Structures are given as C-alpha cells and as structure tokens.
Amino acid sequence: MNPSSIALSLITGALLAGAALAQDTTVSLPDGAPAGLSHVDRFDLRRHAHWLADDARGGRYTGTRGQLEAADYIAEHFALLGFEPLGDDHDGTRSFLQQWPVVRTRILQSRSGLRFGKHNFPKGYGVLPGQEIDSVGIPDGELLFCSYGAPDDSPAEIGPNEIPLVLVRTRSRDQMNVNAQFMMGFQSLGKSASIARKLYEKGARVVVFGVLHDDSGVGEILNYAGLLPGKPLLQYDGDAGMAAMVANARAPGPMVFLSGEATRAALATLGMEADEDGRIAQSAPAVGRASAGVQLAIETAGSHAVNVCAVLRGSDPDVANEALVISAHMDHMGTRVDGDVFNGADDNGSGSASLLEVAEAFARGDRPRRSVVFLSVAGEELGLWGSEYYATHPTWPLADTIANVNIDMIGRVADLSGADEISITPSHSHKRYSSIGRTAARLAGELGLGLTIGDMFYTRSDHYNFAERGVPVVFFCDGEHEDYHQVTDTADKLDYRKIERVARLAYWTAFEVVNAEGRPSEIGRQSDWLDGDGGR
C-alpha cells in the first residue's frame, strides 16, 4: 500500500474507532508510570487491529498481497514516528523492509481450474501435490463417482480421461473442539491418501475428494499443508513448515479437495445430493458419470518474504549501542478452501497493533538511554521463519542485543488467562526465567493484571529464536481459545481493555529494562514471581 492510502486509512480508522468507543473509559495511569504510557490507548489499538484483521488483508499469509500490505502499513507507521529504518541496505540507503528468501510452489490461476458439467471453479478447491510435484490436465473428461472410496465403490480400471470423485466423511466444527477437529483432519487425510494410492494403481491421473463441511478438520489441514489458488506452499532453508506434517499423506499424483459448494455442484452433475451428515440421495436417476475437467498448472520458483525493522536510538552515548528488541508477527493463515478469511485478529493482530502503540509510546515519551529495535516478522505461523532469519542476519548486532520482549495473542479470555490476566514465559518455574520477567511481574500489579504460567508456549513464538542465542526474553500471550486459528478470530471479539493493559505492561517493562544501570540477566527457577535478588 502506498503512503497516501495508508494515511487515509489511518484517518478513517481513527474516526470509526473514536465513534465506537465514545462511551468507553480508559484505564487510568498508575503512580510512577513513564509519560509514554498514556500513548498506548485502546482507541488506536482497535483501529490498528481492525485494519490488520480486515477481510481486505486476505488473512496476511506470508508473501501474499495482504501480508505485504501489512508490512507497508507498519513501515509507514514507523516512518511517521521518525524512526530510522533498520532493514536491508540498498547501495547505502536503508529500507524498513528486511527481505528473506523462500521457495514458493503455487497454482498458476490463469491456467488452472475445475469444471463439473456447466459449473466452473477457478477457486474453491485445495491441492495436496503428489510425491513428485507436477501439473495435470484433463480438459474434457468424465467424472466417475466412487462414493466413499471402499474397494467395491470403484471400477477395476480407470481410463486416462476419467476423474474419480470420492467423498470424505467429515463433521462440522460445531460438533467438536479445535483439537479434536485437528486430529480428525489428519486421520481423514491419511485415509484419503490410502484411497488415492489405490485409484492411481488403477490408472487414475488425478483424484478428486468432495468435502461437505468447509470447517471440518480436512479443511483446516489444507490451510497448513495444501495449495490453494492464491495461497502458495513455502519453504525456507529446506524447511517445509506445516506442510511437513502431511509428508506421509501423499499419493503418486495430486489429490484435489473441493469446498462444500464445489462438492455439491459435482454431485449435482451426477444427479445426486448429500445431506449435512453425508448421506447420498438421488435427485434424478444416477448416471454415475458426468462431463468434467481438471486443469492444474503448478510452478515452483524462488521468491522472498519480508520483515519490518526500525530503531529508536538511545540518548546515553555510553549504552546507546545496546538495544532491546520488541517483536510481534504480522502474518496469519490466509484463506480457507471456500474463500473465507482467517482474519487473525488475536493471532496476531492484537500483538501487531500493540507493537505499533508501544512504538508510539517510545516516540512520544521520554527518550530511553538504550536503543529500541522494533521488529515485525512474517513466517511465524510457518515455523518462526522471519525471526529465525533476523536472528541469523541481525541488523542490530546480537552481541549488543540485551533482551527481547515478544507479543503474540493478548486480546482474549483463553485457556491460560482471564480478562484480568496474561501468561508469560519463561515463568518463574522455568530454568530460563529472567530479570525481565520479574520486572514484568512487579509492574503487572500496578496495571491490575495477574500473571499466569505460559511455559507451554516457550518454543512456539518468535522470542524463542532470541532465547536460543542467549538473549533474555519475555513473551506475553493469552493462550488458545475457541477461535484459535479459525476464521472466527475476528477483530470485533477482541477485548481492547485487556490489550491496552498488556501493551502498557510490555512498554513499561521494556522502558525499565532500557533505562536500567545494567543489562538484564537470567536468574533461573524461583519459587515466586518476585524472588531472586530481593525481587527488584
């Protein structure tokens, strides 16, 4: 997005946020709080979160237009605050963007699509590539109904222009929790791959699976590991990320999974229909075959993703070479097979909005003694890739990086935290507990927040790449909830009062660390949050 359109969105968003929150009362500042704390407010948090989690961003999947728009939005914000760019150096000119390489496998949309009778589907499907990623073209074939894929449901041989259609037994998300849905998705893909292998042995060139419930486990796994039109598969430094989870669920050729709408259209061409439980009924005499076509053009090529890096230099020449990194990931999961958007409001619109507000607090408040690096990364959902790249290609020396404060999901009541709580890791029960966590524990009470133990997430967000390299870290996170990695994680469900308090806690903690006499340190396991060196 160009600067003028970003500025317009900022103005428009501010007006909307102000109107929506006119009756809301902000949390008063505690005694002794730094002046910048007042610049972290829920009005701007709501504005940023709504912009980032809007359908127009398309779910901010790494490397897509929506994620790059988010990067531009964040970079423009840093520029307006007067920060120095700390990204790539282009012939002596710094950028706010740090590019990092990926290998991208994508569906070429102009040469791909499905047809069932007279119904064309340029979208509405997902693909698990075969053991050898290849394209396939059957422009004019016959759809061959194979029911649920039992041996008796398919013929002994399949002709070169016959396209087997197999139904997958699924249930709606309304009938199970997130974890059960996820596990059922793995089981369904494993069974589908077994069926597909048998059909390939019989001569199939492509196998199509009908999925009646878009919010089923199969649909969820496709979002991690499948190719969708406009949503590629990525690899970073040989790591296939979430797609590696289904490496064993492969067939010799591609498996195409249909959205609910496409599944019903395919069945209709065969004179069939299915109810919500997957029972097949005949709306006309079933012929078992119908005109169909599958065109898949798949390309693999080098590409890049981007982080956003900026710095506010410290005021004390004796320690300005030292910096604290405040980080949050901007990416999310993109779109579902039916086109619904994974808005990622809590994960991680809440953390990205907080990063922007914490940045403003540092810019408007008292200048810190040490420098502060603001780092917005992509690729977190795929395997912490953006922060891994930054940690191995730091634009501020790691030897002079004194700490990392990471913010990821802080806007909901979740399994680890209530409305007046937030979890942190490493906690006082963790061997890597640090003086930063202890500082956060002391300040949390001033902001009316209780702390809970979030050590189950110690390896699951971007702070981990700093911790692995010996940098003391603290990570703020609310935990998992019913909308975690679902299309229902929308900005209207966020608790902006909670986000405001947690973002203020992140700012205040960072402010104390960068203004302290000495560097923070790891203090190891303690019996309580405030134990260790007198609790100060």
Report d(CA 194, CA 489) in Å as an integer: 33
357 within 8 A of 364, measured Cβ to Cβ: no
Residue 278: band (very low, low, confident or very high) from pLDDT cuts 50, 70, 90: confident
Check residue 131 and give its pLDDT: 81
Residue 182: band (very low, low, confident or very high) from pLDDT cuts 50, 70, 90: confident
Mean pLDDT of the chain: 91
Check residue 11 and give its pLDDT: 35
CA-to-CA dists, residue 18 to 15, 22, 80, 189, 352, angstroms: 5, 6, 21, 47, 20
Half-sphere exposure of 120 (CA within 13 A, CB side): 7
| Position 9 pLDDT exceeds 70 | no
Percent above pLDDT 70 for the chain: 93
Residue 233: strand, helix, or coil = strand
Compute the CA torsion angle 196, 202, 205, 206 (nearest 10 deg).
-30
| Position 105 pLDDT exceeds 90 | yes
Check residue 86 and give its pLDDT: 98
Q: What number is the average pLDDT over the span 183-197?
A: 92
Q: What is the pTM of this model?
A: 0.92
Taken in order of first residue, the domains within the chain and their CATH numbers are 3-12+32-103+302-535 (3.40.630.10), 109-296 (3.50.30.30)
| Position 235 pLDDT exceeds 80 | yes
Check residue 16 and give its pLDDT: 42
Residue 152: band (very low, low, confident or very high) from pLDDT cuts 50, 70, 90: confident
Residue 418: strand, helix, or coil = coil
Q: Of 339, 307, 345, give the one whose Cα is nearest residue 485.
A: 345
Question: 10 Å Cβ neighbour count for 156?
Answer: 7
Between the ranges 21-35, 185-199, 460-474, where is the mean pLDDT highest?
460-474
Q: What number is the average pLDDT over the span 119-147?
A: 92
Check residue 288 and give its pLDDT: 65
Check residue 310 and give its pLDDT: 98
Residue 533: band (very low, low, confident or very high) from pLDDT cuts 50, 70, 90: low
Report d(CA 10, CA 123) in Å as an integer: 32
